[in-house]
Structure 1
Amino acid sequence: MVTRRAVVTGASTGIGEATVRNLRARGWEVVGVARRAERLQTLVDEVGASAIACDLTDADAVDSLLAELEESGPVHALVQVAGGARGTERVEDASIADWQWMYDVNVLATQRLVAGILPQLRRAAESDGHADAVFVTSTAAQIAYPGGSGYNAAKAAESMLVKVLRQELNGEPIRVVEVAPGMVHTEEFTLNRLGGDSLAAEAVYAGVEEPLNAHDVADVIGYALDAPGHVNLDLITMRPVAQSAQHLLARGPLRVRGGEG
Protein backbone atom coordinates (compact mmCIF):
# COMPACT_ATOMS: atom_id res chain seq x y z
CA MET A 1 0.00 0.00 0.00
CA VAL A 2 1.23 3.46 -0.92
CA THR A 3 1.16 6.02 1.87
CA ARG A 4 -0.48 9.00 0.25
CA ARG A 5 0.52 12.59 0.99
CA ALA A 6 -1.86 15.54 1.01
CA VAL A 7 -1.17 19.27 1.05
CA VAL A 8 -3.83 21.11 3.07
CA THR A 9 -4.01 24.90 2.91
CA GLY A 10 -5.60 27.12 5.54
CA ALA A 11 -4.27 24.61 8.05
CA SER A 12 -3.81 26.99 10.99
CA THR A 13 -7.51 27.15 11.88
CA GLY A 14 -11.05 26.00 11.14
CA ILE A 15 -11.74 23.57 8.33
CA GLY A 16 -8.11 23.41 7.25
CA GLU A 17 -6.87 22.46 10.70
CA ALA A 18 -9.66 19.91 11.12
CA THR A 19 -8.80 18.40 7.74
CA VAL A 20 -5.17 17.93 8.73
CA ARG A 21 -6.28 16.10 11.87
CA ASN A 22 -8.83 14.00 9.98
CA LEU A 23 -6.43 12.89 7.27
CA ARG A 24 -3.71 12.04 9.78
CA ALA A 25 -6.23 9.85 11.62
CA ARG A 26 -6.96 8.13 8.29
CA GLY A 27 -3.29 7.33 7.80
CA TRP A 28 -2.33 10.04 5.33
CA GLU A 29 0.91 11.96 5.42
CA VAL A 30 -0.08 15.61 5.57
CA VAL A 31 1.66 18.91 4.90
CA GLY A 32 -0.25 21.78 6.51
CA VAL A 33 0.15 25.16 4.84
CA ALA A 34 -0.83 28.54 6.31
CA ARG A 35 0.62 31.95 7.04
CA ARG A 36 0.91 31.52 10.83
CA ALA A 37 3.89 29.32 11.57
CA GLU A 38 3.28 29.21 15.32
CA ARG A 39 -0.18 27.70 14.89
CA LEU A 40 1.11 25.19 12.37
CA GLN A 41 3.66 24.03 14.93
CA THR A 42 0.80 22.90 17.17
CA LEU A 43 -0.35 20.50 14.45
CA VAL A 44 3.17 19.22 13.98
CA ASP A 45 3.45 18.53 17.69
CA GLU A 46 -0.02 17.04 18.19
CA VAL A 47 -0.70 14.92 15.11
CA GLY A 48 2.66 14.41 13.44
CA ALA A 49 1.94 16.44 10.33
CA SER A 50 4.54 18.41 8.45
CA ALA A 51 4.08 22.14 8.02
CA ILE A 52 5.20 24.92 5.71
CA ALA A 53 4.41 28.56 6.43
CA CYS A 54 3.33 30.35 3.26
CA ASP A 55 1.22 33.31 2.18
CA LEU A 56 -0.58 32.02 -0.92
CA THR A 57 -1.10 35.55 -2.23
CA ASP A 58 2.70 35.98 -2.50
CA ALA A 59 4.01 34.49 -5.75
CA ASP A 60 7.58 34.15 -4.46
CA ALA A 61 6.38 32.42 -1.29
CA VAL A 62 4.33 29.97 -3.36
CA ASP A 63 7.37 29.22 -5.53
CA SER A 64 9.32 28.39 -2.38
CA LEU A 65 6.47 26.21 -1.12
CA LEU A 66 6.36 24.27 -4.37
CA ALA A 67 10.13 23.74 -4.32
CA GLU A 68 10.02 22.44 -0.76
CA LEU A 69 7.19 20.06 -1.63
CA GLU A 70 9.11 18.85 -4.67
CA GLU A 71 12.14 18.02 -2.56
CA SER A 72 10.27 16.32 0.27
CA GLY A 73 8.18 13.71 -1.53
CA PRO A 74 5.22 13.06 -3.82
CA VAL A 75 1.96 15.01 -3.60
CA HIS A 76 -1.11 12.82 -4.09
CA ALA A 77 -3.72 15.38 -3.07
CA LEU A 78 -4.20 19.11 -2.79
CA VAL A 79 -6.92 20.26 -0.39
CA GLN A 80 -7.42 23.98 -0.99
CA VAL A 81 -9.24 25.40 2.01
CA ALA A 82 -7.55 28.80 2.36
CA GLY A 83 -9.81 31.75 1.64
CA GLY A 84 -12.13 34.06 3.48
CA ALA A 85 -14.67 36.85 3.53
CA ARG A 86 -14.54 40.50 4.51
CA GLY A 87 -17.55 42.71 5.03
CA THR A 88 -21.30 42.51 4.60
CA GLU A 89 -21.92 45.87 2.92
CA ARG A 90 -24.31 46.50 0.07
CA VAL A 91 -22.80 46.66 -3.42
CA GLU A 92 -23.06 50.46 -3.46
CA ASP A 93 -21.22 50.74 -0.12
CA ALA A 94 -18.63 48.01 -0.51
CA SER A 95 -14.91 48.44 0.06
CA ILE A 96 -12.86 47.89 -3.08
CA ALA A 97 -9.93 46.89 -0.86
CA ASP A 98 -12.03 44.16 0.76
CA TRP A 99 -13.22 42.90 -2.62
CA GLN A 100 -9.64 42.87 -3.92
CA TRP A 101 -8.50 40.88 -0.89
CA MET A 102 -11.33 38.35 -1.33
CA TYR A 103 -10.51 37.88 -4.99
CA ASP A 104 -6.81 37.51 -4.22
CA VAL A 105 -7.23 34.88 -1.47
CA ASN A 106 -10.12 32.90 -2.95
CA VAL A 107 -9.43 33.00 -6.69
CA LEU A 108 -5.95 34.16 -7.70
CA ALA A 109 -4.21 32.24 -4.92
CA THR A 110 -6.11 29.11 -5.97
CA GLN A 111 -5.10 29.49 -9.61
CA ARG A 112 -1.48 30.15 -8.65
CA LEU A 113 -1.31 27.09 -6.44
CA VAL A 114 -3.08 24.77 -8.88
CA ALA A 115 -0.85 25.81 -11.77
CA GLY A 116 2.24 25.18 -9.71
CA ILE A 117 1.27 21.91 -8.08
CA LEU A 118 -0.30 20.12 -11.06
CA PRO A 119 3.03 18.66 -12.28
CA GLN A 120 3.51 17.05 -8.88
CA LEU A 121 -0.05 15.68 -8.85
CA ARG A 122 0.48 14.27 -12.33
CA ARG A 123 3.64 12.45 -11.30
CA ALA A 124 1.88 10.95 -8.26
CA ALA A 125 -1.07 9.88 -10.41
CA GLU A 126 1.21 8.25 -12.94
CA SER A 127 3.12 6.27 -10.33
CA ASP A 128 0.33 5.48 -7.86
CA GLY A 129 -2.89 5.32 -9.87
CA HIS A 130 -4.62 8.63 -9.25
CA ALA A 131 -4.33 12.03 -7.58
CA ASP A 132 -6.84 14.48 -6.15
CA ALA A 133 -7.59 18.18 -6.02
CA VAL A 134 -10.24 19.15 -3.47
CA PHE A 135 -11.56 22.69 -3.14
CA VAL A 136 -13.67 24.08 -0.31
CA THR A 137 -15.89 26.77 -1.80
CA SER A 138 -19.24 27.74 -0.27
CA THR A 139 -22.96 27.77 -0.85
CA ALA A 140 -22.27 31.49 -1.34
CA ALA A 141 -20.94 30.41 -4.74
CA GLN A 142 -24.40 29.08 -5.62
CA ILE A 143 -26.93 31.48 -4.10
CA ALA A 144 -26.72 35.28 -3.84
CA TYR A 145 -27.84 37.07 -0.69
CA PRO A 146 -27.93 40.73 0.40
CA GLY A 147 -24.66 41.74 2.00
CA GLY A 148 -22.82 38.86 0.40
CA SER A 149 -21.95 40.33 -2.96
CA GLY A 150 -18.16 40.43 -2.67
CA TYR A 151 -17.92 36.96 -1.16
CA ASN A 152 -20.61 35.65 -3.54
CA ALA A 153 -18.58 36.92 -6.47
CA ALA A 154 -15.24 35.57 -5.25
CA LYS A 155 -16.54 32.12 -4.33
CA ALA A 156 -18.54 31.86 -7.57
CA ALA A 157 -15.33 32.61 -9.47
CA GLU A 158 -13.44 29.96 -7.50
CA SER A 159 -16.23 27.46 -8.13
CA MET A 160 -16.07 28.12 -11.87
CA LEU A 161 -12.31 27.64 -11.77
CA VAL A 162 -12.89 24.21 -10.22
CA LYS A 163 -15.50 23.22 -12.81
CA VAL A 164 -13.30 24.28 -15.71
CA LEU A 165 -10.29 22.48 -14.21
CA ARG A 166 -12.26 19.23 -14.01
CA GLN A 167 -13.10 19.50 -17.71
CA GLU A 168 -9.56 20.44 -18.70
CA LEU A 169 -8.19 17.40 -16.85
CA ASN A 170 -10.62 15.04 -18.55
CA GLY A 171 -8.75 11.89 -19.56
CA GLU A 172 -6.21 12.17 -16.73
CA PRO A 173 -6.48 10.14 -13.50
CA ILE A 174 -6.89 13.26 -11.37
CA ARG A 175 -10.12 13.75 -9.44
CA VAL A 176 -11.43 17.28 -8.93
CA VAL A 177 -13.81 17.60 -5.99
CA GLU A 178 -15.71 20.67 -4.78
CA VAL A 179 -17.11 20.83 -1.25
CA ALA A 180 -19.56 23.71 -0.73
CA PRO A 181 -20.57 24.14 2.92
CA GLY A 182 -23.40 26.31 4.15
CA MET A 183 -23.41 27.57 7.74
CA VAL A 184 -20.26 26.38 9.52
CA HIS A 185 -19.46 27.66 13.01
CA THR A 186 -15.68 28.04 13.16
CA GLU A 187 -13.36 30.01 15.37
CA GLU A 188 -12.45 32.79 12.96
CA PHE A 189 -14.42 32.94 9.68
CA THR A 190 -17.37 35.13 10.73
CA LEU A 191 -15.29 36.99 13.32
CA ASN A 192 -12.87 38.06 10.60
CA ARG A 193 -15.68 38.86 8.19
CA LEU A 194 -17.25 41.21 10.74
CA GLY A 195 -14.02 43.01 11.59
CA GLY A 196 -13.42 41.28 14.90
CA ASP A 197 -16.83 42.06 16.42
CA SER A 198 -17.33 38.95 18.56
CA LEU A 199 -20.88 39.83 19.63
CA ALA A 200 -22.03 40.29 16.04
CA ALA A 201 -20.25 37.09 15.02
CA GLU A 202 -21.97 35.01 17.71
CA ALA A 203 -25.36 36.53 16.80
CA VAL A 204 -25.06 34.93 13.35
CA TYR A 205 -25.32 31.49 14.98
CA ALA A 206 -27.64 32.37 17.85
CA GLY A 207 -30.44 29.85 18.33
CA VAL A 208 -29.35 27.61 15.45
CA GLU A 209 -29.41 23.99 16.57
CA GLU A 210 -26.12 22.34 15.64
CA PRO A 211 -24.61 24.40 12.84
CA LEU A 212 -21.98 22.49 10.92
CA ASN A 213 -18.53 22.55 12.47
CA ALA A 214 -15.08 22.25 10.94
CA HIS A 215 -14.87 18.53 11.73
CA ASP A 216 -18.08 17.83 9.80
CA VAL A 217 -16.57 19.34 6.66
CA ALA A 218 -13.22 17.64 7.23
CA ASP A 219 -14.96 14.29 7.50
CA VAL A 220 -16.59 14.79 4.10
CA ILE A 221 -13.22 15.76 2.60
CA GLY A 222 -11.65 12.63 4.08
CA TYR A 223 -14.45 10.47 2.70
CA ALA A 224 -14.03 11.96 -0.77
CA LEU A 225 -10.29 11.33 -0.74
CA ASP A 226 -10.63 7.77 0.54
CA ALA A 227 -13.36 6.82 -1.96
CA PRO A 228 -12.29 4.33 -4.67
CA GLY A 229 -10.02 6.01 -7.18
CA HIS A 230 -12.53 5.81 -10.03
CA VAL A 231 -15.23 7.64 -8.02
CA ASN A 232 -15.29 11.44 -8.33
CA LEU A 233 -17.59 13.44 -6.06
CA ASP A 234 -17.92 16.45 -8.33
CA LEU A 235 -19.86 18.72 -5.96
CA ILE A 236 -20.88 18.12 -2.37
CA THR A 237 -23.24 20.76 -0.98
CA MET A 238 -23.63 20.39 2.78
CA ARG A 239 -25.68 22.35 5.29
CA PRO A 240 -26.91 21.84 8.84
CA VAL A 241 -30.44 20.44 9.03
CA ALA A 242 -31.54 23.80 10.46
CA GLN A 243 -30.55 25.52 7.20
CA SER A 244 -32.87 24.15 4.51
CA ALA A 245 -31.71 26.74 1.98
CA GLN A 246 -29.36 29.70 1.95
CA HIS A 247 -32.18 32.01 3.07
CA LEU A 248 -34.17 29.56 5.24
CA LEU A 249 -32.65 29.12 8.69
CA ALA A 250 -34.47 27.74 11.74
CA ARG A 251 -33.59 29.33 15.05
CA GLY A 252 -34.71 27.37 18.08
CA PRO A 253 -35.06 23.64 18.76
CA LEU A 254 -35.82 21.35 15.83
CA ARG A 255 -39.07 19.52 16.48
CA VAL A 256 -41.57 17.32 14.68
CA ARG A 257 -44.77 19.15 13.79
CA GLY A 258 -48.07 17.64 14.83
CA GLY A 259 -46.53 14.85 16.89
CA GLU A 260 -47.10 13.92 20.49
CA GLY A 261 -43.56 14.21 21.70
Structure 2
Amino acid sequence: MKALILAAGKGTRLGSLTAEFPKPMLAVNGQPLLGHHLRWLRSYGVTEIAINLHHAAHVIQSYLGDGSAFGVTLTYSFEPELLGTAGAAKRLEPFLNERFVVVYGDVFTNVDLARITAFHEARVGASGKGMTIVLYRVPNPTECGLVEVDEFGAVRRFVEKPPADQVFTDLANAGILICEPSILSLAPANAVYDFGRDLLPQMLALGWPVWGAPILPEEFVIDIGTPAGYARAQEASHTALPM
Protein backbone atom coordinates (compact mmCIF):
# COMPACT_ATOMS: atom_id res chain seq x y z
CA MET A 1 0.00 0.00 0.00
CA LYS A 2 1.17 3.52 -0.83
CA ALA A 3 0.25 6.82 0.81
CA LEU A 4 -0.59 10.40 -0.06
CA ILE A 5 -0.17 13.10 2.59
CA LEU A 6 -2.08 16.27 1.78
CA ALA A 7 0.18 19.14 2.80
CA ALA A 8 -0.55 21.96 0.34
CA GLY A 9 -3.04 24.05 2.33
CA LYS A 10 -2.30 27.49 3.74
CA GLY A 11 -3.62 26.98 7.27
CA THR A 12 -5.26 30.39 7.49
CA ARG A 13 -7.18 29.54 10.69
CA LEU A 14 -3.91 29.53 12.62
CA GLY A 15 -3.05 33.11 11.70
CA SER A 16 0.57 34.14 12.01
CA LEU A 17 1.74 30.61 12.90
CA THR A 18 1.33 29.57 9.27
CA ALA A 19 1.74 32.87 7.42
CA GLU A 20 5.08 31.70 5.99
CA PHE A 21 5.14 28.18 7.39
CA PRO A 22 3.28 25.02 6.31
CA LYS A 23 0.64 23.87 8.79
CA PRO A 24 1.82 20.21 8.73
CA MET A 25 5.27 21.39 9.81
CA LEU A 26 4.02 22.77 13.13
CA ALA A 27 5.65 20.94 16.02
CA VAL A 28 3.72 18.41 18.09
CA ASN A 29 5.67 17.25 21.13
CA GLY A 30 8.79 18.85 19.68
CA GLN A 31 8.56 17.23 16.24
CA PRO A 32 6.98 18.55 13.04
CA LEU A 33 3.64 16.85 12.44
CA LEU A 34 4.85 15.49 9.10
CA GLY A 35 7.55 13.59 10.96
CA HIS A 36 4.81 11.92 13.03
CA HIS A 37 2.97 11.06 9.80
CA LEU A 38 5.99 9.40 8.24
CA ARG A 39 6.85 7.36 11.32
CA TRP A 40 3.20 6.35 11.77
CA LEU A 41 2.95 5.17 8.15
CA ARG A 42 6.29 3.38 8.25
CA SER A 43 5.25 1.53 11.42
CA TYR A 44 2.53 -0.12 9.30
CA GLY A 45 4.86 -0.95 6.42
CA VAL A 46 3.88 1.99 4.21
CA THR A 47 7.13 3.35 2.82
CA GLU A 48 6.24 4.76 -0.61
CA ILE A 49 4.69 8.12 0.16
CA ALA A 50 3.68 11.12 -1.95
CA ILE A 51 3.22 14.62 -0.54
CA ASN A 52 1.49 17.44 -2.38
CA LEU A 53 2.95 20.90 -1.88
CA HIS A 54 2.00 24.52 -2.43
CA HIS A 55 2.36 26.94 0.50
CA ALA A 56 5.99 27.27 1.71
CA ALA A 57 6.89 24.06 -0.10
CA HIS A 58 10.63 24.55 0.43
CA VAL A 59 10.22 24.24 4.21
CA ILE A 60 8.78 20.74 3.85
CA GLN A 61 11.31 19.60 1.26
CA SER A 62 14.25 20.95 3.27
CA TYR A 63 13.15 19.06 6.38
CA LEU A 64 12.09 15.74 4.83
CA GLY A 65 14.50 15.51 1.90
CA ASP A 66 14.12 12.24 0.03
CA GLY A 67 12.61 10.56 3.11
CA SER A 68 15.56 8.25 3.75
CA ALA A 69 16.13 9.69 7.24
CA PHE A 70 12.63 8.44 8.10
CA GLY A 71 13.01 5.06 6.40
CA VAL A 72 10.66 5.95 3.52
CA THR A 73 10.80 7.09 -0.10
CA LEU A 74 9.12 10.40 -0.90
CA THR A 75 7.56 11.69 -4.11
CA TYR A 76 6.69 15.39 -4.17
CA SER A 77 3.91 16.96 -6.22
CA PHE A 78 4.08 20.76 -6.35
CA GLU A 79 0.80 22.49 -7.26
CA PRO A 80 1.23 26.02 -8.66
CA GLU A 81 -2.52 26.40 -8.07
CA LEU A 82 -4.32 24.35 -5.43
CA LEU A 83 -6.20 21.39 -6.94
CA GLY A 84 -8.28 20.28 -3.94
CA THR A 85 -7.82 17.01 -2.08
CA ALA A 86 -8.99 14.65 -4.84
CA GLY A 87 -7.41 16.82 -7.52
CA ALA A 88 -4.09 16.32 -5.76
CA ALA A 89 -4.58 12.55 -5.87
CA LYS A 90 -5.61 12.65 -9.54
CA ARG A 91 -2.38 14.48 -10.41
CA LEU A 92 -0.50 11.60 -8.76
CA GLU A 93 -2.54 8.87 -10.49
CA PRO A 94 0.52 7.19 -12.10
CA PHE A 95 2.11 6.92 -8.64
CA LEU A 96 -1.07 5.83 -6.86
CA ASN A 97 -1.33 2.66 -8.93
CA GLU A 98 -2.18 0.35 -6.02
CA ARG A 99 -4.28 0.59 -2.87
CA PHE A 100 -3.36 3.80 -1.06
CA VAL A 101 -4.09 5.67 2.13
CA VAL A 102 -4.79 9.40 2.08
CA VAL A 103 -3.87 11.33 5.23
CA TYR A 104 -4.81 14.97 5.65
CA GLY A 105 -1.64 16.78 6.66
CA ASP A 106 -3.24 18.63 9.58
CA VAL A 107 -4.43 15.46 11.37
CA PHE A 108 -2.58 14.11 14.40
CA THR A 109 -3.59 10.51 15.07
CA ASN A 110 -2.72 7.17 16.65
CA VAL A 111 -5.34 5.18 14.68
CA ASP A 112 -4.47 1.53 14.09
CA LEU A 113 -3.97 1.60 10.33
CA ALA A 114 -3.70 -2.21 10.15
CA ARG A 115 -7.20 -2.52 11.65
CA ILE A 116 -8.65 0.00 9.17
CA THR A 117 -6.92 -1.71 6.24
CA ALA A 118 -8.30 -5.10 7.30
CA PHE A 119 -11.78 -3.57 7.57
CA HIS A 120 -11.39 -2.21 4.04
CA GLU A 121 -10.00 -5.43 2.57
CA ALA A 122 -12.86 -7.48 4.00
CA ARG A 123 -15.36 -5.30 2.14
CA VAL A 124 -13.55 -4.69 -1.15
CA GLY A 125 -12.94 -8.36 -1.83
CA ALA A 126 -12.05 -8.93 -5.48
CA SER A 127 -14.06 -5.96 -6.75
CA GLY A 128 -11.13 -3.55 -6.94
CA LYS A 129 -13.52 -0.68 -6.25
CA GLY A 130 -14.27 1.40 -3.20
CA MET A 131 -13.09 3.61 -0.38
CA THR A 132 -13.13 3.45 3.41
CA ILE A 133 -13.40 6.63 5.46
CA VAL A 134 -12.11 6.68 9.02
CA LEU A 135 -14.80 8.25 11.21
CA TYR A 136 -14.76 10.12 14.51
CA ARG A 137 -17.26 12.10 16.56
CA VAL A 138 -16.98 15.87 16.50
CA PRO A 139 -18.36 18.70 18.63
CA ASN A 140 -18.66 20.99 15.59
CA PRO A 141 -20.66 19.10 12.91
CA THR A 142 -21.16 22.16 10.68
CA GLU A 143 -17.40 22.35 10.10
CA CYS A 144 -16.92 18.73 8.94
CA GLY A 145 -18.00 16.19 6.36
CA LEU A 146 -20.76 14.21 8.09
CA VAL A 147 -21.30 10.52 7.42
CA GLU A 148 -24.26 8.19 7.92
CA VAL A 149 -23.49 4.47 7.89
CA ASP A 150 -25.66 1.37 8.13
CA GLU A 151 -25.11 -1.58 10.46
CA PHE A 152 -22.56 -3.11 8.05
CA GLY A 153 -20.48 0.06 7.77
CA ALA A 154 -21.71 1.07 4.32
CA VAL A 155 -21.97 4.84 3.88
CA ARG A 156 -25.54 5.85 3.04
CA ARG A 157 -25.15 9.62 3.17
CA PHE A 158 -22.30 12.11 3.13
CA VAL A 159 -22.72 15.87 3.47
CA GLU A 160 -19.76 18.23 3.49
CA LYS A 161 -20.04 20.99 6.13
CA PRO A 162 -23.85 21.21 6.30
CA PRO A 163 -25.71 24.23 7.70
CA ALA A 164 -26.88 23.82 11.30
CA ASP A 165 -30.46 22.95 10.35
CA GLN A 166 -29.24 20.03 8.18
CA VAL A 167 -26.97 18.34 10.72
CA PHE A 168 -27.99 14.66 11.05
CA THR A 169 -25.07 13.15 13.02
CA ASP A 170 -21.85 14.02 14.80
CA LEU A 171 -19.96 11.24 12.98
CA ALA A 172 -17.46 12.83 10.61
CA ASN A 173 -14.70 12.20 8.11
CA ALA A 174 -11.48 12.00 10.15
CA GLY A 175 -9.20 12.85 7.23
CA ILE A 176 -7.86 9.31 6.75
CA LEU A 177 -9.07 7.37 3.70
CA ILE A 178 -8.20 3.92 2.31
CA CYS A 179 -8.70 3.99 -1.46
CA GLU A 180 -8.63 1.63 -4.37
CA PRO A 181 -6.80 3.24 -7.32
CA SER A 182 -9.83 2.80 -9.60
CA ILE A 183 -11.66 5.62 -7.79
CA LEU A 184 -9.34 8.14 -9.45
CA SER A 185 -10.92 7.35 -12.81
CA LEU A 186 -13.92 9.37 -11.63
CA ALA A 187 -11.93 12.55 -11.01
CA PRO A 188 -11.28 15.02 -13.84
CA ALA A 189 -7.68 15.80 -14.76
CA ASN A 190 -6.17 19.22 -14.10
CA ALA A 191 -9.23 20.46 -12.23
CA VAL A 192 -10.03 21.56 -8.70
CA TYR A 193 -11.74 18.53 -7.16
CA ASP A 194 -12.33 17.58 -3.55
CA PHE A 195 -12.90 14.24 -1.81
CA GLY A 196 -15.66 15.57 0.44
CA ARG A 197 -17.35 18.08 -1.82
CA ASP A 198 -17.05 16.20 -5.12
CA LEU A 199 -15.70 12.64 -5.27
CA LEU A 200 -17.54 11.05 -2.34
CA PRO A 201 -20.97 12.35 -3.44
CA GLN A 202 -20.19 11.22 -6.98
CA MET A 203 -19.25 7.74 -5.83
CA LEU A 204 -22.45 7.41 -3.80
CA ALA A 205 -24.57 8.70 -6.70
CA LEU A 206 -23.01 6.14 -9.05
CA GLY A 207 -23.36 3.29 -6.58
CA TRP A 208 -19.64 2.87 -5.98
CA PRO A 209 -19.00 1.30 -2.55
CA VAL A 210 -17.96 3.59 0.29
CA TRP A 211 -17.56 2.39 3.88
CA GLY A 212 -17.06 4.09 7.22
CA ALA A 213 -14.81 2.73 9.98
CA PRO A 214 -15.21 4.49 13.37
CA ILE A 215 -12.15 4.94 15.55
CA LEU A 216 -11.92 3.02 18.81
CA PRO A 217 -12.17 4.64 22.27
CA GLU A 218 -8.39 4.41 22.79
CA GLU A 219 -7.66 6.04 19.43
CA PHE A 220 -7.67 9.74 18.63
CA VAL A 221 -7.84 11.99 15.60
CA ILE A 222 -7.10 15.67 16.22
CA ASP A 223 -7.30 18.43 13.62
CA ILE A 224 -4.49 20.85 14.46
CA GLY A 225 -5.91 23.47 12.08
CA THR A 226 -7.29 25.66 14.89
CA PRO A 227 -5.53 27.01 17.98
CA ALA A 228 -7.74 24.82 20.20
CA GLY A 229 -7.02 21.73 18.10
CA TYR A 230 -3.31 22.43 18.10
CA ALA A 231 -3.35 22.68 21.90
CA ARG A 232 -5.27 19.37 22.14
CA ALA A 233 -2.68 17.67 19.95
CA GLN A 234 0.10 18.79 22.26
CA GLU A 235 -1.79 17.38 25.25
CA ALA A 236 -2.50 14.07 23.51
CA SER A 237 0.95 13.59 21.99
CA HIS A 238 2.28 11.53 24.91
CA THR A 239 -0.28 8.80 24.12
CA ALA A 240 0.62 8.52 20.43
CA LEU A 241 1.80 5.19 19.07
CA PRO A 242 5.55 4.68 19.53
CA MET A 243 7.38 5.55 16.34
Name the TM-score class by shorter chain. 0.3 to 0.5
> Normalised by the size of structure 1, how large is the TM-score?
0.37
Greater helix fraction, Structure 1 or Structure 2: 1
- Structure with the larger RCO, 1 or 2 (CA within 8 Å, 6+ apart): 2
* Structure in which a larger fraction of residues adopt strand: 2
Pair member with larger Rg: 1
